[in-house]
Structure 1
Amino acid sequence: MSNKNNDLDSVYQRIWEAIVAHKLLPGTRLKEEDLSETFGLSRGFVRKLLLQLSHHKLVNLVPNSGAFVAEPSPEEAREIFQARRLIEAELVRELASTCTAQDKRLLQEHVAREHQAFAEGQQSLRIRLSGEFHLLIGKLANKPVLTSFLHEIIPRSSLIIALYPGPGPLKGKARHAGVSCSEHDGLIGAIGAHQVDKAVRLMIDHLNEIEAQLQLEPAGEEDVDLKAIFAQP
């Protein structure tokens, strides 16, 4: 029984990572047969896995249609970022109060991997590392309950970023990656210097910036030049 539970946890983690890295995008259908063959699991085991993912709001189970990667609504997106601000403000407050040289080194090593992935154009890896940076703050702050909540909503944040990319030349994965690198560096500086209030402010500003880049409002009506559209070639 323990081996089966370990298998379930392992596959769940792989799907979690694929969502965080934007390899599984919102609306993607997760076929039981494909998952069964990919991971060498029984169909019953796959159903249990999909049910667990649905409980964590990462998958929608649609009767007579199947399982699909969740597509959070704009209202849910705003609530997710509100929750992140509340949780992560407390995590960074705690870590900035207690940060050791070892803690700072671990954060710096992690962000160095983010910079390398970004420089090499490995955007999926870069985005996954970005989410893991926030979880690392929770782990180092030694707040397992708050960190467990964060572990649930980080993938939902990634779905939101993939679903609602903002306007402009940089969208989705590249846009999110570009924002985070330097801001994570700034956070480490404040945390390592025990600048508690500054670290909290930087974390909230960081999350606000990510949310602000999303297109959560419907696009405004624009005048359409019908003559140009239907002009004869």
Structure 2
Amino acid sequence: MDISFQTDAPRERKDAAAAGDRASAIVRSIEAAIVGQRLPPGAKLPEDELGAAFGVSRTIVRAALRMLAQDRVVTLAPNRGAFVSSPTVEEARQVFHARRVVEDALVREAAARCDEADLDRLRSHLDAERDALRRGDRSAAIGLSGEFHLLVGSISGQKVLVTFLRELISRSALVIALFGTTRESSCGSHDHAEVVEALARRDGEAAAAIMADHLRHIEHDVELSGEPRPSVRLADVLADLRR
């Protein structure tokens, strides 16, 4: 009896897993570039250039773009290709509302669960944020700011909500890129430090209040009553994504 299909199955599964890992790596890099505002809303994401930048096939690139489209941070346009999404004013309002609801729940749970090791990681992360701000590296500071919110969320143990928060952070970065009224990041390390100190006291109520004010400050830095600002055209943005 021919059982060659049985012996090939483990290799096929291994190849599929490796392809999935490569696609996920592309997703993480593009999300980081969006959060860091290196990829602006409306930016085209050509499959061939992405494949060359990451050293992968167009099949893997397409898988990554489909994953990003599911999170609504990329738009797939028939016969036109993939683009970084450009949220509408109504979508922007809903994104911020969702962040307030989700992060309230996450920070309260994090206050109940965090230990000294968690606090050490948070404080080390704050040091990295402050260092980026001192260097004037705005892109890195914005990216680290988003990571802070995800780190707090991870302490909560609520993996489903954290996955949703990751999408919301990417989408709010697009909103800020389109509608932001200042060049500075509103998501500063001072508010983050106050959140950490509330977590250290295991004071979920205070942590939630500080986080709510913090998110309101971010939202107030965007002007949702008019036309979005034109997207910045970046000549070689894919070079920033190369690992």
Unaligned runs of 5+ in 2: 1-15, 228-243
Are 2:170 and 1:175 equivalent residues in the alignment? no
Per-residue deviation, 1:123: 0.8
Are 2:103 and 1:95 equivalent residues in the alignment? no
Q: Tell me the equivalent position of 1:52.
A: 67
Match of 1:140 among 141, 148, 155: 155
Match of 1:187 among 189, 192, 195: 195
Q: Tell me the equivalent position of 2:83.
A: 68
For residues 16 and 175 of structure 1, the distance between their equivalents in structure 2, rounded to whole angstroms, comes to 17
Per-residue deviation, 1:105: 1.5
Per-residue deviation, 1:45: 2.4
Are 2:219 and 1:204 equivalent residues in the alignment? no
Q: Tell me the equivalent position of 1:14.
A: 29
Q: Tell me the equivalent position of 2:178.
A: 163
Give the total of aligned pairs: 212
Q: Tell me the equivalent position of 2:136.
A: 121
Contact 2:142 2:185 in 1 (8 A): no
For residues 204 and 189 of structure 2, the distance between their equivalents in structure 1, rounded to whole angstroms, comes to 20
Provide, for residues 64-111 of structure 1, a one-character-per-residue CA deviation record: whole Å limited to 9, x for no partner: 222110011111111111111111101110111232222211111101
For residues 104 and 50 of structure 1, the distance between their equivalents in structure 2, rounded to whole angstroms, comes to 35
The residue type equivalent to 1:67 in the other structure is: A
For residues 185 and 37 of structure 2, the distance between their equivalents in structure 1, rounded to whole angstroms, comes to 13
Per-residue deviation, 1:12: 1.1
For residues 41 and 100 of structure 1, the distance between their equivalents in structure 2, rounded to whole angstroms, comes to 41
- Secondary structure of the residue that 2:83 maps to in structure 1? strand
Per-residue deviation, 1:43: 2.0
TM-score (norm 1): 0.87
TM-score (norm 2): 0.84
Unaligned runs of 5+ in 1: 220-233
Per-residue deviation, 1:2: 1.3
The residue type equivalent to 2:226 in the other structure is: P
Per-residue deviation, 1:6: 1.0
Q: Tell me the equivalent position of 1:226.
A: none
Contact 2:31 2:170 in 1 (8 A): yes
The residue type equivalent to 1:216 in the other structure is: L
The 1:3–1:175 alpha-carbon spacing in structure 2 relative to 1, beyond 3 Å, is closer
The residue type equivalent to 1:56 in the other structure is: D
Q: Tell me the equivalent position of 2:232.
A: none
Per-residue deviation, 1:33: 1.4
Q: Tell me the equivalent position of 1:229.
A: none
For residues 175 and 45 of structure 1, the distance between their equivalents in structure 2, rounded to whole angstroms, comes to 33
The 1:99–1:44 alpha-carbon spacing in structure 2 relative to 1, beyond 3 Å, is closer
Provide the identity percentage.
Answer: 38
